[in-house]
Structure 1
Amino acid sequence: MLNYKQLHYFWRVAKTGSIARAAEQLRLAPQTISSQIGTLEQALGTELFRRAGRRLELTAAGELAVSYADEIFQIGRELEETVRNRPARGDILFRVGVADVVPKSMAYHLLAPALGSADRVRLICREDKLERLFAELAIHKIDLVIADRPLPSQLGVKGYSHTLGRALIAFYAVRKLAQTSRKGFPQSLHGAPMLLPGDGAAMRGALTRWLGEHQVEPQIVGEFDDSALMKAFGKAGTGIFPAPVILADEIRSQYDAEIIGRADGVFATYFAISVERKLMHPAVVAISNAAKSELFIADNATAG
């Protein structure tokens, strides 16, 4: 079995570049550290350092060992922090990453059932780029990722994509702009000011194709990774913007925007991505069940 004390000594030497500096930090004799690293090299069956004059350089095996040690000690720090700040007895810690392209209101509707489940859940939610969230899922730093696309197979991350549902997309605008754009829709969008999600959003490509199929070329005045910011510009009358039909009531109340028309055939699909092939976490099960039986049912009926 790997001796983690020896690994820590090796890691310190690799980070400081010197046995003497590592010994000073660890308050140990240099001979002790050198001996322990030698024992680790014997256990691994390879050299981790080579001499370059008076300096120590990492071998290829040493470089690989450092990358693993970085991850091991990072997980150790996270374990210590999590245990120290653990939730009250009986609570279930539920750590979720939400892709930054997922609308905030949609994320709320998807995650809210977790807090209403029979078990007491403490939700820890963070937003980030999908690539970083997938990396954190791989090392079990988070339990679930809410995304608008499945987990790409080429990432090499062991995980499973569970479809929560799909939402039909419509175009919205403040009342004055909506009234002038409804007549002759969708040709009325030609030359109209348009706010679109950034290239990172899965539905961007479908919207572009839909506009092309209808031979409509709007004036794109803004592109946004953050859908809430896009809607804020829409509320100011800057342009027309796309969003799921099932959020129409919230968009009307929060952003004073109305539906101009629907982009038939264009959907935003939402996924729960976890390391579980079969959903077992009670909070994830609650999210999946509510999404399929409550959240998307009205929209699917409308779309069908």
Structure 2
Amino acid sequence: MIVRMEWLNYHHLFYFWTAAREGGIGKGAAALRLSQPTLSAQIRALEQDLGERLFEKAGRGVALTEAGRLVFRYADEIFGLGQELRETLGGGRTVRQPQLAVGISDALPKLMVQKLLDPALKLEDPPRLLAREDATERLLAALATQDLDVVLTDRPLDPQSRLKAFNHLLGECGVSIFASPALARGLRGAFPGDLDGQPWLLPLQGTALRRALDQWMGTHRIRPRIVGEFSDSALLKAFGQAGGGCFAAPDAIAAEVVRQYRVKRLGTAEGVRERIYAVSVDRRLRHPAVQAIRDAARTWVFA
């Protein structure tokens, strides 16, 4: 029996890859020394061949669709291997560096993320880190299309989610409250009651830490004067350093927060916990770099 192979047009794929890598049709056409209509026609031919749209309009330009991001990732591998083959046959000694694509929830403290990722970069054969920060929902969508190897987030994947993925608890720790020295000197009374009516800098509504802090404040009858709400934890701490208000941070990085932002630790928010999960499509974490992240979390980040 003769099996008919459906061949991919690699010329079309190369044109698409170049346009995506350069950041658009116009820049891609300039890099390839083609007219924009010619390049657009080549990419449309590839879309028709694959049965998927690869670009979509975004403002005045274009952006990759989900299918486009997946095709670009495969194209990156294909043409990277082709270049490696040429260098090898030409007498070069090329070692292909492994990659680790990590999605980082924007709710996570950046100091803690750095401590978690650092061991992966110190492996004997360290990967090239591709770190993408975004809302958890969009990161999980990228995980589903294999655009990411793992997603680090503050909450586990919903059991009702249609995404077939698995939660791996990396660790948990307590949470403390911090303030600038000037704000701390103005507090009167015992902690945490002295925080009632004080200015506060809080994570956005809907995050796991915000829900826990709201419950803790309600239990202790703390009525915060909310100055700002932030998705970026580093920006929140910068405002805290400037005296904008009290703020919370995990105990696992308390020493770094005090040293880097020159703030005072006021006390522990009893019962409030910070948790970090690694969400992957594998029931067991197989990527060596992700295993290094897990092991470091358990042995010293959350120890």
TM-score w.r.t. the length of structure 2 is 0.74
- Choose from 268, 286, 302 the match for 1:280: 286
TM-aligned CA deviation for residue 72 of structure 1: 4.9
Paired with 2:273 and 2:301, the residues of 1 have a C-alpha distance of 15
What residue is the counterpart of 1:94 in the other structure? 100
Letter paired with 1:76: V
Paired with 1:221 and 1:72, the residues of 2 have a C-alpha distance of 41
What residue is the counterpart of 1:294 in the other structure? 300
Aligned 8 A contact 2:105 2:133 in 1? yes
Paired with 2:66 and 2:227, the residues of 1 have a C-alpha distance of 43
TM-aligned CA deviation for residue 68 of structure 1: 11
**Residue 82 and residue 178 in structure 1: after superposition, are their counterparts in 2 closer, same or farther (change >3 A)?**
farther
Paired with 2:121 and 2:294, the residues of 1 have a C-alpha distance of 13
Paired with 1:139 and 1:190, the residues of 2 have a C-alpha distance of 46
Paired with 1:161 and 1:181, the residues of 2 have a C-alpha distance of 41
**Residue 73 and residue 258 in structure 1: after superposition, are their counterparts in 2 closer, same or farther (change >3 A)?**
closer
TM-aligned CA deviation for residue 258 of structure 1: 1.3
Paired with 1:286 and 1:5, the residues of 2 have a C-alpha distance of 37
**Residue 85 and residue 229 in structure 1: after superposition, are their counterparts in 2 closer, same or farther (change >3 A)?**
farther
What residue is the counterpart of 1:255 in the other structure? 261
**For 1:144-180, what per-residue CA distance to the aligned partner results, in whole angstroms no more than 9, with x for missing partners?**
1111011123331111110000121111001122233
Please say if 1:226 is aligned against 2:245: no
What residue is the counterpart of 2:171 in the other structure? 165
What residue is the counterpart of 2:20 in the other structure? none
Please say if 1:79 is aligned against 2:71: no
Aligned 8 A contact 1:162 1:272 in 2? yes
Please say if 1:245 is aligned against 2:240: no
SS of 1:164's equivalent in the other structure is: strand
What residue is the counterpart of 1:145 in the other structure? 151
Paired with 1:2 and 1:273, the residues of 2 have a C-alpha distance of 36
Bigger mean CA deviation after superposition, 279-288 or 90-99: 90-99
> Where do 5+ consecutive residues of structure 1 fail to align?
9-20, 27-32, 41-64, 298-304
- Choose from 196, 199, 217 the match for 1:193: 199
TM-aligned CA deviation for residue 125 of structure 1: 0.9
Letter paired with 1:80: A
What residue is the counterpart of 1:267 in the other structure? 273
Report the aligned-residue RMSD. Answer: 2.9
Aligned 8 A contact 1:90 1:120 in 2? no
**For 1:213-261, what per-residue CA distance to the aligned partner results, in whole angstroms no more than 9, with x for missing partners?**
1111121111111011111110110110011122122111221111111
SS of 2:148's equivalent in the other structure is: coil
What residue is the counterpart of 2:114 in the other structure? 108
TM-aligned CA deviation for residue 90 of structure 1: 4.7
TM-aligned CA deviation for residue 117 of structure 1: 2.1
Q: How many residues align?
A: 248
Identity of aligned residues (%): 40
Bigger mean CA deviation after superposition, 193-202 or 164-173: 193-202
Paired with 2:217 and 2:69, the residues of 1 have a C-alpha distance of 47
TM-aligned CA deviation for residue 84 of structure 1: 3.5
SS of 1:155's equivalent in the other structure is: coil
Q: From the CA coordinates, give the structure whose radius of gyration is larger.
A: 1
- Choose from 177, 181, 189 the match for 1:175: 181
Aligned 8 A contact 1:144 1:272 in 2? yes
SS of 2:160's equivalent in the other structure is: helix
**For 1:60-113, what per-residue CA distance to the aligned partner results, in whole angstroms no more than 9, with x for missing partners?**
xxxxx6579975554223211244357962522111111111111111011111
Aligned 8 A contact 1:119 1:282 in 2? no
